[in-house]
Amino acid sequence: MDGTVKKPETEKNISEEKENTCEISRRGVLAGSATAAGALILGSCEHAYASVEFSSSKDRYGCLTDLTACVGCRSCEKACNEANNLPQPDVPFDDASVFKEKRRPTANAYTVVNQYPNPKDESKPIYRKIQCNHCNEPGCASACPVHAYTKTKEGAVLYDEDKCFGCRYCMVACPFYVPAYDYESALEPKIAKCILCYDRIKTGGIPACAEACPGGALTFGKRNDLLNMARKKIAEKPDRYIDHIFGEHEAGGTSWIYISGVPFAQLDFPTNLTKRPLIEETKGFLSAVPVVLTVWPAFFGMVYAALQHREGPQKGQKHEKEEEKK
């Protein structure tokens, strides 16, 4: 009797022990794998926005728009049109009727000037020129799935229309609503935007709009020089300017910076931007995606294979026992 009672007990104990060791090891493996995966993600996050090769370039160029100096002559629009060989607009450049509505850059006009009332002096409306601001860390470039965008060391954000497949993520990603889509072309649609006249600045020239501006509203130069110039202007004429350089920190800083006599919100500038580059919001996650897609399947596959290997013989034994009972 005793033997028959004891034997199953010992067998039970052994099987319990086996189960316990198995569970512990499974937990351990799972916990270990989670830690490893977390470390992988965190590790990739830490280095995610370390793409400082353009942010650190002190010699990169920029443009300073003095909104108090713009007289709305639209010479910049015309110069941009000619420099980029864009089609003639429906309304000529010396026709002020375009100011009746607020325009946006389009595939046929990389820069536009809009008119705003001047609360200080009604006879001198304020004009705001809109074009690509050439962010230090461009959101469009981080959103583009095919790497059609390039941030050059000169500061310009370039765009390769041959790579584009028309997803228009960049239009959504841009905080300034700049990239424009060529909706009229059905077969070869392209994104279009200002490229800071890259061919000109590369050879020591200045962008067409800045060259054409008669009133000194557009000044092209090294971004650091322009920031100093803007600070000096504000310090010398505190009545004329508000104490804010738009683009110094907005969205992580932009190559195109602005000074104004009225708050930027009155001129439809986006005022909800953080000082952090927009890339930081997404790049950590996006750079983790390839890691998750490649490392995780391999890692968990290995874990699964290892567990299968352990569980395999057990199941086999049980089957054998069941067969013996029969």
Partner 1 sequence: MKKFVILVIAIIFCFFLSVSLFAGKNPGVVTLDTISDKYESVIFNHESHTSMAGNCGTCHHEHGNSGALPCKDCHSVTPAVFKNSVVNNFVACKNCHTVSDPDNPVMPGLKVAYHKTCFQCHRGMGNVGTDPKGCTEICHAKKEQSISMKVEK
The site for partner 1 (CB under 8 A) is made up of 61, 64, 69, 71-73, 75, 78-79, 82-83, 92, 96, 121, 123-125, 201, 204-206, 208, 210-216, 219-222, 225-226, 229, 236
Q: Which residue has the tokens 């953080």?
A: 274
Q: Give kind and range of the element (H or E) at residue 285.
A: helix 279-325
Q: In what order do the strands lie in the sheet with 256-259?
A: 218-222, 61-66, 256-259
Nearer to partner 1, 140 or 197 (CB): 197
Nearer to partner 1, 10 or 97 (CB): 97
Q: Compute the least distance from the CB of residue 289 to partner 1, in Å.
A: 40
Q: Which residue has the tokens 């029969």?
A: 326
Nearer to partner 1, 12 or 120 (CB): 120
Q: Compute the least distance from the CB of residue 119 to partner 1, in Å.
A: 15
Q: Give kind and range of the element (H or E) at residue 35.
A: helix 2-46
Q: Compute the least distance from the CB of residue 197 to partner 1, in Å.
A: 11
Nearer to partner 1, 140 or 209 (CB): 209
Contacts of 262 (CB under 8 A, 6+ apart): 118, 119, 120, 126, 242
Q: Would you list the DSSP string of 63-131?
A: EEEETTT-----HHHHHHHHHTTPPPPSS-TT-GGGGGS----BTTBS-EEEEE--SS-TTS-EEEEE-
Q: Compute the least distance from the CB of residue 120 to partner 1, in Å.
A: 11
Nearer to partner 1, 143 or 226 (CB): 226
Q: Nearest Cα to 78, choosing from 208, 216, 258, 220? A: 208
Residue count (the chain): 326
Contacts of 322 (CB under 8 A, 6+ apart): none
Write a three-state SS string for 113-145.
EEEECCCCCCCCCEEEEECCCCECCCHHHHHCC
Nearer to partner 1, 99 or 169 (CB): 99
Q: Compute the least distance from the CB of residue 260 to partner 1, in Å.
A: 16
Q: Compute the least distance from the CB of residue 166 to partner 1, in Å.
A: 32
Nearer to partner 1, 49 or 198 (CB): 198
Nearer to partner 1, 127 or 149 (CB): 127
Q: Compute the least distance from the CB of residue 208 to partner 1, in Å.
A: 7
- Using only C-alpha atoms, the chain has a radius of gyration, in whole angstroms, of 31
DSSP letter at 246? B
Q: Compute the least distance from the CB of residue 90 to partner 1, in Å.
A: 15
Bridge-based pairing state of the strands 191-192 and 149-151: unpaired
